[in-house]
Structure 1
Amino acid sequence: MKKRQRNLRDIVPKHGSGGHTDNNGHDHGDAPSNFKTYLPAGFSFVLLIVGIAMDYADSAPFFENWVRVAWYTVAYIPVGWPVIKAGWKSITRGQFFTEFLLMSLATLGAFAIGEYPEGVAVMLFYTVGELFQHAAVTRARGNIKSLLDVRPNTALVQRGNDFVSVHPEDVAVGEKVQVRVGEKVPLDGILLSEKASLNTAAITGESKPDTIAQGDAVFAGSINLEKVIEVEAFKSFKDSSIAKILDMVQNATARKSKTELFIRKFARIYTPIVVFLAVGLTFLPYFFVDDYVFRDWLYRALIFLVISCPCALVISIPLGYFGGLGAASRNGILFKGAAFLDTMTKVNTVVMDKTGTVTKGVFKIKEIRAFNMDETRMISYVLAMEAQSTHPIAQAIMEYNLQADALDAFEVTELAGKGLKGKVAGETVLVGNKALMSSHQITVPQETDDIVESIVLVAIGGTLAGYITIADELKEDAHKTIAQLRQLGISEIIILSGDKDTITQEVVKRLGVDWAKGGLLPGDKLQEVETLKAVSGTKVAFIGDGINDAPVLAASHVGLAMGGLGSDVAIETADVVIQTDQPSRIVRAIKIGRSTRRIVWQNITLAFGVKLLVLVLGAGGLATMWEAVFADVGVALLAILNAVRLQRMHWD
């Protein structure tokens, strides 16, 4: 798309259009925004209309010979010269067969055979079409530009006894930042104030204000709504949520879909073929037609050139995908490339993680049981270990306000899919699931197999000390998600979880998914997904949020990560990021992908269908240059308007 935008600036008048480029090299050209931008086209249009009127007026005998040629030449120059200039620049860069060359040959050829009004009209409508296309591209990019606007520019950071205004990039992790009412939070941090009301629409896509309490996470780009708050930065600016979102969205257009890449390759082959066919249409009839007239066949060839211009395809298809990316980001869904919009349309099998994906990942302690040990003493060991983990279960245990002695844990390591291992008060302590205990030859009583809830087993000094049961709950939109996926024709819905199988099967009963497996390690999940992918015709989408989901997110045909609760590794690995943590957004992602692909193929069918019809008519001498203008510029405009519809669609 970048090369296309550069060419557009060659032909779209620059008066009043101040396009700019960001630090990443992405062009954010402004839409034509004032009268001067349209003045050249307007000037040519007025001269064309007056010229045609004088051509048919008996009272204007002076309008002939050199006066008529000069009039239409003056009308042609404002719209024709930028295109001829762009065509010449393309030739000097080694790009001979472009739409600029086609337009230049067709219109100059029309002048050569005396069809001056038609030559001006073709170039005028081509330029108007490019102006509308430029405006449509900018409209499609509007949502991404609005994201750029939420990037904070200043931060009030405490230096000494005062708060000093600095750029967010200059704030160090651990520094205290003050955010006033109406200001944007400059960096990701922890809320130090008692509470805050924040508008997180830029991060999550949700307009509903979010009320958070002291100690909760605050994300860069959120707007403070009620009173002055203080935040302790825990990430640098370049690692903040808003910076990563902007990077993902800005780079999304660099990843072209297969359809878009095919059309661009096709246009590079198609254009020279058209030029040679036009040459053949001009001269070859001399050998086969008795009443050959050079002027008539040249006129047909010129019509052929105008009709054959691939503008509608080259313009409308990238614009369609860009519109889909913008519509998705406005709905809190970040595709990392247009290719994944295409892939979403083919998904027929959806695999989900359980904890944090279909459940809230907000656990509450239900029961604590100790074997041959004081319960309070066991909890002391557990708290010391869980303080070293960021897992939702660890956070639930830490937040339960358990009364126990303060102990320190050392040499704590997190074993993916199993739990924690470390040392507390000189004893080796294990906190995790049955797989962790089995790997260390620790016997677990049979009674734990009958517990449905999540269970945290505790072993101290090589002996099972007890367990803690923890309950999770389904997200509000979990049932709706499954029902809507069924309506979309998804053939198989599966849950793969690292949690114990009894809990996972309970979720299956409540949600009505096809099947599920629990107690899986990351490698087990990967193997299950690889088995699904091996079935011919299966396209797998996996939704997860944890570090242990990263291998599966990478291996699936399209990986979707929960952007709020999700780990950085999962978000980096995924192809699509759901900012709101709502599983129902996968339904919206599929709908947006399907709508985008439908519009793209509508545009392809429209462009090829109309062009083919008028090509046949033109070659047979039944179509004039005016029909050629419609087949090129008219179809391009219709395709653009069709693509812009994506910005107005709703997917609820």
Structure 2
Amino acid sequence: MAHQHNHDSHSEQLDCTVEEKKNKKSAKNSNCCSTDDDVHSDDDGHNHEHNAEGSTFKMFLPAIISFLLLLVAIAFDNYIPQDWFKGYVRLAWYIVAYLPVGIPVLKEAFESITKGDVFSEFLLMCIATLGAFAIGEYPEGVAVMLFYTIGEVFQTLAVSRAKSNIKSLLDQRPDEATILEDNVPKVVKANEVSIGAIIQLKAGEKLGLDGELLSETASFNTAALTGESKPDTKIKGETVLAGMINGTTIAQVKVTTAYNDSKLSKILEMVQNATTQKAPTELFIRKFAKIYTPIVVFLAIAICLLPYLFVDNYVFNDWLYRALVFLVISCPCALVISIPLGYFGGIGAASKNGILFKGSNFLDSIANIQNVVMDKTGTMTEGVFKVQEVVIADEFQKDEILKMVNALESQSTHPVATAIHNHVGEIDASIELKNVEEISGHGLKAEINGKELHVGNFKLMDKFRIQYDIDPNSIVYTLIAIAYDKKFVGYLTIADSIKEDAQVTIDKLKAMGVKTTMLSGDKTNVVQFVANKLGIANAFGDLLPEDKVNKVNEIKARNETVAFVGDGVNDAPVVALSTVGIAMGGLGSDATIETADVVIQDDRPSKIPMAINIGKQTRKIVWQNITLAFVVKGVVLILGAGGLATMWEAVFADVGVALLAILNAVRIQKMKF
């Protein structure tokens, strides 16, 4: 039960609105993100880490104080002969030992009662521990609260450590922009840039506002924003969007949309709205407590008072003792420790394998996943362009043609040129290029050895009336056509390659009985090609962010639990909407990583079935502990009610079962997945 309470508080923190997280100053002072003690963002955008060891020590400090005082008291009671440790001195000592761990729970119980939730787990714990004091079993009263506090700290650490490995920035938009005033660059706050201003965008810099390209041409990496795997070359007058990353040349953009009205802002707003649709997952213990706690309290009252009506030699203190023993036995110490430790173990096992769970409830949720919906680019594919195939007619020498193409493409800054260079290798310095010309939207041409070389798309072939004998539409990859001396030489295919473990991922998911679906903003024929190659039954391409949301809603309407796996900003809304959102953390966008429930650090899709398996094993161990605790406690409760069990049996039913449950819980750390 301690675990559930602690999880609920973290759920509130994890469900902070996007707007709160976007405002760094607000986030710093907001309770919503108060547990991010290990990592904060300063207003200048630089992160610094707090002293993690000091923070952890502070969390354990109340338990350490209580534990030390308890050990000393037990030593005085049983092992160190003396005359002074008795009466009020002994009581005062145990009260002092109780207060560091007891005050927070007493406060929670009081607040729950004032809010109308009378029979909370906090009330039961308070009655049991105070009852132990009332019958003189001071060590038990302190120990129960001590175990509770330790369990809660473990759960807090589990969430905090997972969150500390996740990028804290949500918004893809840069805080600053460089604008031109009288042709002089000036750095200003991005939200202060007005419509009509001219932004100067350096190579590799991210655009902060939507606008119109003023430069003749510029290549943009749009994968994080649109999901499109092919780098997008824009020409003068075309629209460019916030979140796009400029290529290798300086570009100028005229702002056409206010900072808060950009396409990216709309996507982030969708993230916020989708997050509000995610219902919190309640663990079994929390639900059971609503029934268990009042029953136990009323049974204890009945054990104390009802015998007065039926027993001739009724002695109030004797029956009060039985009732309080009953309460001590029923105190959920084993559950308080073993359940959070079980989930902590699951989170730890996942972390060791490069999988970050933001909360223990997602371990439960992922164990029940029926349909894994995934993005293509950066999730099942590398997100890096490579030459896939080289097709050169037999009448030409392949190596010589590739050397000439490489030399010509060296004149371009387009990512496709980089892919060709990586494939061919070093540029042949002996090749002399003349009359190099870049034809916007088509490709490049130059003279080599007195003959024209054309390299570009098939529109370039059509423009110069070069005949070719293939159907470009029949090939799913990006095509680079080559012509030499006005003859069609062949073509290169350039594409995003499928990740090495993608096939293993799909095979394992199928073996687990999990359905698979692919959604992407990339071309439909490319998406279908990848899906067919991997054996994914359902695949859809040319999707906008809202289309992905609709597709996931369709699946959820069939009462299927959905895990969505993605890495781009456009994936963030659907990640938030799904039952379990999984982000690729290596190359993934900040928005998606922040919104996701699970983060795969190394971008390997094979970690998806591994995460599901860890969730299943964790749930199995937790339910073993729940069963163990209730069976043993049930037996001892009956004995206690009949006066056959003393406080020592109560301690065994409480602490002994807790220790057994802990040993079972740590098993998951040693499992291989």
One-letter code of the match for 2:618?
Answer: T
Q: Identify the residue that residue 593 of structure 2 maps to in structure 1.
A: 571
1:399 to partner: Cα distance:
6.0
Q: Using a 3 Å threshold, how does the CA distance of structure 1 residues 535 and 291 change in structure 2: closer, same or farther?
A: same
Matched, 1:480 2:504: yes
Alpha-carbon distance between aligned partners in 1 of 2:573 and 2:149, rounded to the nearest angstrom: 46
| Alpha-carbon displacement from aligned partner over 1:594-628 (angstroms, at most 9, x marks no partner) | 22222332333233332222222211222221111
* Pick aligned residue for 2:568 from 546, 554, 564: 546
Structure 1 segment 261-300 matched on structure 2, within 5 A: 263-264=285-286, 267=289, 271=293, 274-300=296-322
Q: Identify the residue that residue 252 of structure 1 maps to in structure 2.
A: none
Q: Using a 3 Å threshold, how does the CA distance of structure 1 residues 263 and 421 change in structure 2: closer, same or farther?
A: farther
| Alpha-carbon displacement from aligned partner over 1:566-618 (angstroms, at most 9, x marks no partner) | 33444344332211110101112112222222233233323333222222221
Q: Using a 3 Å threshold, how does the CA distance of structure 1 residues 377 and 532 change in structure 2: closer, same or farther?
A: farther
Matched, 1:43 2:72: yes
CA contact (8 A) 2:409 2:417 kept: no
Structure 1 segment 159-178 matched on structure 2, within 5 A: none
Q: Identify the residue that residue 613 of structure 1 maps to in structure 2.
A: 635
Matched, 1:106 2:131: yes
Q: Using a 3 Å threshold, how does the CA distance of structure 1 residues 274 and 408 change in structure 2: closer, same or farther?
A: farther
One-letter code of the match for 1:480?
Answer: V
CA contact (8 A) 1:352 1:495 kept: yes
Alpha-carbon distance between aligned partners in 1 of 2:330 and 2:411, rounded to the nearest angstrom: 73
Q: Identify the residue that residue 655 of structure 2 maps to in structure 1.
A: 633
* Pick aligned residue for 1:531 from 545, 554, 557: 554
Contiguous gaps of at least 5 residues in structure 1 = 6-18, 55-62, 112-118, 149-171, 173-188, 191-254, 370-374, 411-419, 423-430, 435-443, 459-465
Alpha-carbon distance between aligned partners in 2 of 1:514 and 1:134, rounded to the nearest angstrom: 44
One-letter code of the match for 2:649?
Answer: E
| Alpha-carbon displacement from aligned partner over 1:428-482 (angstroms, at most 9, x marks no partner) | xxx9999xxxxxxxxx998122224344799xxxxxxx99631443222122212
Q: Using a 3 Å threshold, how does the CA distance of structure 1 residues 398 and 343 change in structure 2: closer, same or farther?
A: farther
Structure 1 segment 457-468 matched on structure 2, within 5 A: none
1:341 to partner: Cα distance:
2.2
Q: Identify the residue that residue 588 of structure 1 maps to in structure 2.
A: 610
| Alpha-carbon displacement from aligned partner over 1:273-302 (angstroms, at most 9, x marks no partner) | 544432332122111233433333122112
1:272 to partner: Cα distance:
5.8
Q: Using a 3 Å threshold, how does the CA distance of structure 1 residues 99 and 316 change in structure 2: closer, same or farther?
A: farther
One-letter code of the match for 2:511?
Answer: Q
1:639 to partner: Cα distance:
3.1
Matched, 1:495 2:524: no
Q: Using a 3 Å threshold, how does the CA distance of structure 1 residues 315 and 445 change in structure 2: closer, same or farther?
A: farther
* Pick aligned residue for 1:28 from 46, 49, 56: 56
Give the number of the structure with larger relative contact order, counting CA–CA contacts within 8 Å between residues 6 or more apart. 2
TM-score by length of 2: 0.57
Q: Identify the residue that residue 126 of structure 1 maps to in structure 2.
A: 144
Q: SS in structure 2 opposite 1:361?
A: strand
Q: Identify the residue that residue 238 of structure 2 maps to in structure 1.
A: none
Q: SS in structure 1 opposite 2:513?
A: coil
One-letter code of the match for 2:74?
Answer: F
Q: Using a 3 Å threshold, how does the CA distance of structure 1 residues 527 and 121 change in structure 2: closer, same or farther?
A: closer
Matched, 1:604 2:633: no
Q: Identify the residue that residue 511 of structure 1 maps to in structure 2.
A: 534
* Pick aligned residue for 1:448 from 465, 472, 482: 472
Alpha-carbon distance between aligned partners in 1 of 2:457 and 2:561, rounded to the nearest angstrom: 34
Alpha-carbon distance between aligned partners in 2 of 1:340 and 1:407, rounded to the nearest angstrom: 56
Q: SS in structure 2 opposite 1:362?
A: strand
Q: Using a 3 Å threshold, how does the CA distance of structure 1 residues 139 and 642 change in structure 2: closer, same or farther?
A: farther
Alpha-carbon distance between aligned partners in 2 of 1:525 and 1:321, rounded to the nearest angstrom: 31
How many aligned residue pairs are there? 475
Alpha-carbon distance between aligned partners in 2 of 1:35 and 1:338, rounded to the nearest angstrom: 25
Q: Using a 3 Å threshold, how does the CA distance of structure 1 residues 91 and 407 change in structure 2: closer, same or farther?
A: farther
One-letter code of the match for 1:28?
Answer: T
| Alpha-carbon displacement from aligned partner over 1:508-552 (angstroms, at most 9, x marks no partner) | 45433334344555555444333322223x122222233444444
One-letter code of the match for 1:126?
Answer: V
One-letter code of the match for 2:307?
Answer: P
1:362 to partner: Cα distance:
2.9
Q: Using a 3 Å threshold, how does the CA distance of structure 1 residues 265 and 502 change in structure 2: closer, same or farther?
A: closer
Q: Identify the residue that residue 97 of structure 2 maps to in structure 1.
A: 82
Alpha-carbon distance between aligned partners in 2 of 1:137 and 1:338, rounded to the nearest angstrom: 8
CA contact (8 A) 1:383 1:398 kept: yes
CA contact (8 A) 1:43 1:75 kept: no
| Mean Cα deviation higher: 515-524 or 570-579 | 515-524
Alpha-carbon distance between aligned partners in 2 of 1:333 and 1:277, rounded to the nearest angstrom: 45
Alpha-carbon distance between aligned partners in 2 of 1:89 and 1:517, rounded to the nearest angstrom: 52
CA contact (8 A) 1:143 1:326 kept: no
CA contact (8 A) 1:321 1:338 kept: yes
| Alpha-carbon displacement from aligned partner over 1:174-232 (angstroms, at most 9, x marks no partner) | xxxxxxxxxxxxxxx99xxxxxxxxxxxxxxxxxxxxxxxxxxxxxxxxxxxxxxxxxx
CA contact (8 A) 2:585 2:602 kept: yes
Alpha-carbon distance between aligned partners in 2 of 1:71 and 1:308, rounded to the nearest angstrom: 29
Identity among equivalent positions (%) equals: 46
* Pick aligned residue for 1:623 from 645, 656, 660: 645
One-letter code of the match for 2:70?
Answer: A
One-letter code of the match for 2:504?
Answer: K
Q: SS in structure 1 opposite 2:565?
A: strand
Alpha-carbon distance between aligned partners in 2 of 1:383 and 1:499, rounded to the nearest angstrom: 27
1:406 to partner: Cα distance:
8.4
1:383 to partner: Cα distance:
9.5
Q: Using a 3 Å threshold, how does the CA distance of structure 1 residues 532 and 290 change in structure 2: closer, same or farther?
A: same
Q: Using a 3 Å threshold, how does the CA distance of structure 1 residues 294 and 394 change in structure 2: closer, same or farther?
A: farther
One-letter code of the match for 2:643?
Answer: G
Q: Identify the residue that residue 462 of structure 2 maps to in structure 1.
A: none
One-letter code of the match for 1:329?
Answer: S
| Alpha-carbon displacement from aligned partner over 1:95-115 (angstroms, at most 9, x marks no partner) | 57645533443323323xxxx
